[in-house]
């Protein structure tokens, strides 16, 4: 770029360390924007004090404006959303104090683009635009109303809760349509989300800009010896839908695998693993919890497991596992947006018996499994490179900046 493009990046969270899917997706955009020569100011929320080493890490790529703010679903916020028939997901991400802070930032510095990570930050972006007339780029890491709709469909017993969640989905669908239409450009994270966005906002300026993987970082060690009977899951357990999916796997799939391989091992990585895990298969579960570098464990395991029944967007952890030459067995929702097949090392199973049988078959045919792992990495190399995605986004931003002059 001849002149540095100045980007105000709005994020619902501080993205470092990049240790879960949401932070990986946001943080890599920040990093790659910087690598392409952009000047970034990151405005984000945090409910905790950020460690100095993480602040220094972020400062390599951007200026930082952190606003102390909790986005927890409190009773007050839930009641408010019912009384005023509004989206709790949107309302908890903006208030007058946040607007005042952002106004101060905008008074001190001029920007070319407002890059908006997640639907929840769109109201704040439009507030900023009302003050400055800066074009907005909306990055849809998920189609949020789809997540809420799927959540409501998975609630079987609590009818009041199901009605509330379904109503929230409908409100969010209307708002998401409005945000996509009002944004100068919108980028979805997958082709399937592109179709969904175009369905509700057919005249909007929307493109698919997939997530990526750093293949230099996510590569297996040479001459590694994998444990043929070790499965692995790496996720964050603060999201209830990940916990529900894990419980489904342990209740309905894992026992079927144990009948064939009594010594099968399942390694669980991620923050805040549920305490009830101690009641499950103590001889077969390795509950590690949070680790700074998951590659050691991905190098050791044989198959990556990714169950999920509520979600949208794309599972970054699946992409990273495939880059590490691990075949992946996932549910349809979990594999959404990736477009790989079994020949690429991605197996899609929604029923316990099929899921278990696929695990058993991959263990029995280990040499074939390792070849599938190599195919998985090749697939990632062909379809999910951060540099290509960010180059495209910046090209669209440059066009907007020129058109606004």
We report the CATH number of the domain holding residue 86 as 3.40.50.2000
CA 218 – CA 309 distance, rounded (Å): 26
Instruction: Summarize the confidence of residues 114-133 as an average pLDDT.
Output: 98
Query: How many domains, in total, are found in the chain?
Result: 2
145 confidence band (pLDDT: 50, 70, 90): very high
Q: Do 258 and 203 share a structural domain? A: no
Cα–Cα distances in angstroms (integers) from residue 177 to residues 143, 163, 168, in the given order: 10, 21, 14
Q: Do 194 and 287 share a structural domain? A: no
Q: Do 146 and 13 share a structural domain? A: yes
What is the reported pLDDT for 385?
Answer: 94
> Residue 2: pLDDT above 60?
no
Q: Do 348 and 234 share a structural domain? A: yes
293 phi, psi to nearest 5 deg: -130, 110
Instruction: Summarize the confidence of residues 209-228 as an average pLDDT.
Output: 92
Q: Do 44 and 149 share a structural domain? A: yes
> Residue 141: pLDDT above 90?
yes
What is the reported pLDDT for 361?
Answer: 98
Instruction: Summarize the confidence of residues 203-231 as an average pLDDT.
Output: 94
pLDDT, one tens digit per residue, over 278-318 is 889 889 999 999 999 999 999 999 999 999 999 888 999 99
What is the reported pLDDT for 278?
Answer: 86
Q: For residue 220, tell me if it sits in a domain.
A: no
> Residue 263: pLDDT above 60?
yes
Q: For residue 221, tell me if it sits in a domain.
A: no
Instruction: Summarize the confidence of residues 91-106 as an average pLDDT.
Output: 98
Q: Do 255 and 128 share a structural domain? A: no
Q: For residue 207, tell me if it sits in a domain.
A: yes
> Residue 163: pLDDT above 60?
yes
State the burial class of residue 57 (Cβ atoms within 10 Å of its Cβ: 0-12, 13-18, 19+). Answer: middle
What is the reported pLDDT for 6?
Answer: 98
Q: Do 64 and 158 share a structural domain? A: yes
222 confidence band (pLDDT: 50, 70, 90): confident
Q: For residue 379, tell me if it sits in a domain.
A: yes
Q: Domain range holding 330? A: 230-383
Instruction: Summarize the confidence of residues 219-226 as an average pLDDT.
Output: 89
Q: Do 167 and 81 share a structural domain? A: yes
What is the reported pLDDT for 200?
Answer: 97
Q: For residue 277, tell me if it sits in a domain.
A: yes
Q: Do 391 and 266 share a structural domain? A: no
> Residue 405: pLDDT above 80?
no
Q: Do 390 and 376 share a structural domain? A: no
Answer yes or no: are the C-beta atoms of 307 and 234 closer than 8 Å. Answer: no
* Residues 376-402: b if buried by 16+ CB within 10 A, e if exposed: bbebbeebbbbeebbeebbebbbebbe
Q: Do 336 and 256 share a structural domain? A: yes
Instruction: Summarize the confidence of residues 72-84 as an average pLDDT.
Output: 97
pLDDT > 90: percent of the chain: 92
17 preceded by cis ω (within 30°)? yes
What are the residues whose beta carbons fall under 8 Å from the beta carbon of 254, sequence distance 6 or more?
A: 264, 266, 281, 284, 356
CB atoms within 10 A of CB 342: 13
CA 145 – CA 89 distance, rounded (Å): 10
pLDDT > 70: percent of the chain: 100
What are the residues whose beta carbons fall under 8 Å from the beta carbon of 242, sequence distance 6 or more?
A: 235, 236, 270, 308
Q: For residue 222, tell me if it sits in a domain.
A: no
Q: For residue 331, tell me if it sits in a domain.
A: yes
CA 198 – CA 177 distance, rounded (Å): 9
Q: For residue 223, tell me if it sits in a domain.
A: no
What is the reported pLDDT for 223?
Answer: 82
Lookup: tokens for 112: 């070319």
What is the reported pLDDT for 1?
Answer: 42
CB atoms within 10 A of CB 249: 23
Q: Do 364 and 281 share a structural domain? A: yes
4 or 379, which is more confident? 379
CA 23 – CA 17 distance, rounded (Å): 7
* Residues 136-152: b if buried by 16+ CB within 10 A, e if exposed: bbbbbbbbbbbbbbbbb
> Residue 21: pLDDT above 90?
no
Instruction: Summarize the confidence of residues 336-343 as an average pLDDT.
Output: 96
394 phi, psi to nearest 5 deg: -65, -30
What is the reported pLDDT for 404?
Answer: 79
């Amino acid at each position: 770029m001849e002149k540095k493009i100045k980007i105000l990046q709005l994020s619902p969270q501080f993205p470092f360390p990049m240790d879960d899917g949401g932070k990986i997706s946001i943080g890599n955009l920040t990093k790659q924007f910087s690598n392409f020569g952009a000047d970034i100011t990151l405005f984000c929320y945090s409910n905790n004090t950020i460690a100095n080493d993480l602040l220094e890490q972020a400062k390599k790529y951007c200026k930082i404006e952190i606003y102390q703010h909790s986005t927890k679903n409190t009773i007050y916020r839930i009641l408010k959303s019912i009384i005023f028939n509004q989206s709790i997901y949107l309302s908890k991400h903006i208030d007058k104090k946040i607007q005042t802070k952002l106004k101060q930032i905008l008074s001190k510095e001029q920007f070319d683009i407002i890059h908006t990570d997640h639907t929840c930050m769109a109201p704040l972006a439009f507030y900023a635009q009302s003050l400055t007339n800066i074009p907005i780029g909306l990055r849809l890491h998920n189609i949020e109303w789809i997540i809420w709709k799927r959540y409501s469909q998975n609630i079987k017993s609590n009818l009041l809760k199901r009605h509330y969640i379904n109503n929230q989905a409908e409100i969010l669908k209307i708002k998401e349509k409005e945000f996509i239409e009002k944004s100068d450009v919108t980028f979805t994270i997958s082709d399937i989300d592109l179709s969904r966005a175009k369905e509700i906002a057919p005249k909007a300026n929307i493109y698919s800009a997939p997530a990526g993987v750093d293949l230099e970082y996510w590569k297996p060690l040479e001459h590694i010896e994998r444990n043929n009977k070790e499965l692995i899951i790496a996720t964050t357990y603060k999201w209830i839908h990940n916990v529900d999916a894990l419980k489904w796997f342990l209740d309905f799939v894992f026992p079927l695998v144990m009948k064939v391989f009594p010594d099968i091992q399942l390694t669980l990585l991620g923050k805040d693993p549920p305490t009830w895990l101690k009641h499950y298969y103590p001889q077969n579960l390795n509950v590690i919890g949070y680790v700074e570098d998951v590659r050691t464990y991905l190098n050791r395991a044989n198959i990556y497991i990714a169950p999920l029944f509520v979600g949208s967007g794309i599972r970054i952890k699946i992409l990273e596992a495939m880059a590490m030459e691990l075949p992946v067995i996932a549910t349809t929702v979990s594999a959404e947006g990736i477009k790989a097949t079994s020949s690429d090392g991605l197996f899609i199973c929604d029923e316990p018996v099929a899921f278990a049988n696929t695990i058993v078959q991959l263990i029995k045919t280990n040499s074939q499994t390792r070849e599938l792992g190599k195919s998985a990495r090749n697939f990632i190399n062909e379809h999910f490179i951060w540099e290509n995605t960010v180059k495209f986004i910046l090209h669209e931003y440059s066009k907007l900046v020129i058109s606004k002059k």
